[in-house]
Amino acid sequence: MRLSGLLFGVVLLSLIVGLSSAGEPVKVRTSLAGEILDDVFVDVTGTLFARKHSFLSFKVQGVVKEVCVDVGSVVKEGDVLARIDDTDFRLQLRQANAQVKAAQAQLEKLKAGFRAEEVAQAEAALEAVQAQLKEALKGFREEDIKSAEAAVKAANAAFELAKRNRERTEALFKEGAATQQSLDFAVMQEESASAQRDAAEWRLTFLKNGLRAEQIDSIRAQVKSVEQQVGLLKKGFRKEDIDAASAQLELATVALDYAKQQLADTELKAPFDGVIVNRMVDVGVYVVPMMRTTAFEIMDISALDAYLEIPDVYAAEVTVGAKVVLDVDGGEKGIVSSVSAINHRLELPSRKFYVKATIENKNLKMKAGMFVRARIHLLPRTVVFVDRSAVLKDERGEYVMVKEGDVARRRVVKSLKATEKAVLLESGVRAGEIVILDAVGIKDGDSVVEGK
């Protein structure tokens, strides 16, 4: 204690001696303040987030039949995570396949037109009514009456057969086992047989009773009607009928594709490589897509995004590509990365913004949600530096004594960092100014002179 007091007295005496001498200037040592390009950084904190993160749900409803993974399972893109009972969906697919085949067959039938035997049958009916008209115009003989009676009998039998065929086809059509085209053809056959029967009966009546003028006109009308039927058969089906059948085939094909997709959707698959971090379904659960039932939560943590909070004062100095060194609490240290994205929105009331830096995590040791500390290197900037002995500190803070002419002036400074020989200043002194070294005891306004 006595030694400390003695030293203080010696120092105080030296100062009094040096600064007295009737106002003489104090001799000092000086140096120039310089400038240097400094690598500036800011230390921040943040949180690790998964690069990809999804909540998975089934697209179709049904009872869960199988669950293939659990929490912690590592999966690849396309791996099946769970399955729904697909019995009903397979039946729907079979039905859709059958509808496509039926529509395809109908379209091909319409494009091909009527069969040759169907056209031949209509032509035979035409020949019959044409012959009837010819005979009506030339008269009749006894053997013609006998022949006509036999023709009536045969025509009646043919008509009854065509009628029964039409009734049977009509019943099948009502049950869905026959097409509209099949029914139309059966009706046409019945009408043709009826026309042939009428023609045969008329011929017999004509041969027995003679023919009136109006009856001949009726025969001519029948000839014209049958001629039109033959023409339609030879032309085939109408273009609009074929277009309608083509549209039906397209609808059936779309329904088939939908049924295939529905069946595929009974399997819930991983959308990307990752790990299952939550499972919310089990075997026997009935899932409904409209209720947004989440089945699994999956994350890709093979790379993690560090979201770092930056004070707004550094907004102009942080750039994409800036170097970032990260230390993960409970994880790796000294990880080198770079700023990959900058969020240009400030969070209130903290007045901070976020930047993102990605780190590799192939071994999956680090987890999403971990706390991270980071040092972000800002844009290099020019700063002033002075000799380390020029920076002093008292109860009011850091300061430097600057020599302005022959007068010492106190400058309050803010230091950035110190090296072995110099101190980098953020403010207070300009490059090229003269600073006083070891200025202990020199006050603002003191006269000074170079030479110590």
What is the model's pLDDT at position 220? 73
Q: Is the pLDDT of residue 285 over 50?
A: yes
Please check the confidence at residue 308 and state whether its pLDDT lies above 90: yes
Helix pair angle (180-209, 116-138), 10° resolution: 20
- Lookup: tokens for 65: 């039949």
pLDDT score for 89:
96
The pLDDT of residue 1: 35
pLDDT higher than 50, residue 371 = yes
Query: Per the CATH hierarchy, to which homologous superfamily does domain 41-51+300-377 belong?
Result: Efflux pump adaptor protein, beta barrel domain (2.40.30.170)
Q: What is the CATH number of domain 54-85+264-296?
A: 2.40.50.100
38: its two tokens = 């400094």
Q: For residue 249, report the phi and psi dihedrals to the nearest 5 degrees.
A: -65, -40
- Residue 114's pLDDT is what? 58
Q: State the pLDDT at residue 215.
A: 67
Report cis status (omega within 30 of 0) of the bond before 25. no
Q: Model-level pTM?
A: 0.57
Asked if pLDDT for residue 94 goes beyond 70, the answer is: yes
Flag whether pLDDT at 272 surpasses 80. Answer: yes
Determine the Cα–Cα distance for residues 192 and 89; give it in Å rounded to an integer: 47
21-37+382-450 CATH choice from 1.10.600.10, 2.40.420.20, 2.40.50.100, 2.40.160.50: 2.40.420.20
Write out pLDDT tens, residues 121-147.
776 777 777 777 676 666 556 677 788
For the chain, what is the mean pLDDT?
85
Instruction: Using DSSP bridges, classify how beta strands 286-287 and 381-387 pair: parallel, antiparallel or unpaired.
Output: unpaired
pLDDT in tens, 178-225: 788 888 888 888 888 888 888 888 878 777 766 566 666 777 777 777
Choose the most confident range, by mean pLDDT, from 16-20, 123-127, 202-206, 299-303: 299-303
Can you tell me the mean pLDDT for 87-111? 89
pLDDT of 12 above 60: no
Residues 258-265 have a mean pLDDT of: 96
Q: How many residues does the chain have?
A: 452
pLDDT at 131: 73
Region 91-96: mean pLDDT is: 95
Q: Which residue type sits at 437?
A: L
- The residue among 124 and 309 whose pLDDT is bigger is 309
pLDDT of residue 180: 84
| Percent of the chain with pLDDT strictly greater than 70 | 85
Q: Which tokens sit at 429?
A: 């002194």
Q: What percent of the chain has pLDDT over 90?
A: 56
- The predicted pLDDT at position 13 comes to 36
The 10s digit of each residue's pLDDT in 396-416 is: 999 999 999 999 999 999 998
Cα(127)–Cα(227) distance, rounded to whole angstroms? 9
HSE, side-chain direction, 13 A CA sphere, residue 386: 31
Q: Which of 1-10, 209-218, 261-270, 440-449 has the lowest mean pLDDT?
A: 1-10
Q: Given phi > 0 = left and psi -120 to 50 = alpha, else beta, which region is 219? A: alpha
Indicate whether 241 pLDDT > 90: no
Residue with tokens 């043919």: 158
Give the Cα separation of 389 and 392 in Å (integer): 7
Residue 176 scores a pLDDT above 90: no
SS (H, E, C) the chain: CHHHHHHHHHHHHHHHHHHCHHHCCEEEEEEECEEEEECCEEEEEEEEEEEEEEEECCCCCEEEEEECCCCCCEECCCCEEEEECCHHHHHHHHHHHHHHHHHHHHHHHHHHCCCHHHHHHHHHHHHHHHHHHHHHHHCCCHHHHHHHHHHHHHHHHHHHHHHHHHHHHHHHHHHCCCCHHHHHHHHHHHHHHHHHHHHHHHHHHHHHHCCCHHHHHHHHHHHHHHHHHHHHHHHCCCHHHHHHHHHHHHHHHHHHHHHHHHHHCCEEECCCCEEEEEECCCCCCEECHHHCCCCEEEEEEEEEEEEEEEEHHHCCCCCCCCEEEEEECCCCCCEEEEEEEECCCCECCCCEEEEEEEEECCCCCCCCCCEEEEEEECCCEEEEEEEHHHEEEECCEEEEEEEECCEEEEEECEEEEECCCEEEEEECCCCCCEEEECCCCCCCCCEEEECC
Say which residue the tokens 């939550």 belong to: 278
- Under 8 Å CB-to-CB from 371, ≥6 apart: which residues? 45, 46, 47, 328, 329
